[in-house]
Amino acid sequence: MLLLISPINTDEALEAIEGGADIIDVKNPKEGSLGANFPWVIRSVRELTPKGMQVSATLGDVPYKPGTVALAAAGAVVSGADYIKVGLYGTKNYNEALEVMENVVRAVKDLNEDALVVASGYADAYRVGSVDPLEIPRVANDSGADLAMVDTAVKDDKTLFDFMDDETILYFTNETHDYGLKSALAGSIKEEQLQKLEVLGCDVVGVRGAACIGGDRNTGHIDRSSVARLKQIIENF
């Protein structure tokens, strides 16, 4: 299981790198769960990240505007991202989500066929009216994306496991794997939940809060010792 850490700037990115993260995921929590950062921040993080370490960029909790989202995806690729993550926040069903993702995949692969595209739904989709998270593996597969992901839309005191039980998460990961894709799971994940995610078939775990001093994704700051601890836990499975 790969450890994806989500810094908001180059200082945090350096902490994540030194802590041993597998993927450096540039985001902006001020703009939401999968809030997008600026192109120059993505570019700066790519420049300081070792070549053997991959950089991810979130496009935001996106609306149902395929052209807008495809253009954002192109910007992320040009800025140096290896993974392009799309939060399908404004899509209400499979058809809308598929339309967004098909255009994102085309925009990304036209510029860099090796870049990886992540279709992300939300475990608490009912709270924001977005597409059912169990549709995401099919959306990812049918659009040509590389990973299917679930996060949480509302960042409060609840985690992924408050909205999806073990059986539902296992269904998600199994379906994703049946399509030949990788599964990614996030949603205020705590370190004591990492082993359960490994057992349930998670390929990439996304973390911010648990890697921050004080455990707060908004007011905290990513700390290399916290990242190293999470990495060590995963390596000991």
Catalytic residue among 27, 155, 158, 231: 27
Examine the residue annotation and report whether 182 is marked as an active-site residue of this protein: no
pTM value is: 0.95
- Of 30, 51, 65, 85, the catalytic one is 85
Query: pLDDT at residue 213 above 90?
Result: no
Domains of the chain: 2-235 (3.20.20.70)
Digit-coded pLDDT (tens) for 150-194: 999 999 889 999 999 999 999 999 999 999 999 999 999 999 999
pLDDT digits 0-9 by tens, 86-95? 999 999 999 9
Active site residue 231: no
Query: Whose structure tokens read 């679930």?
Result: 150
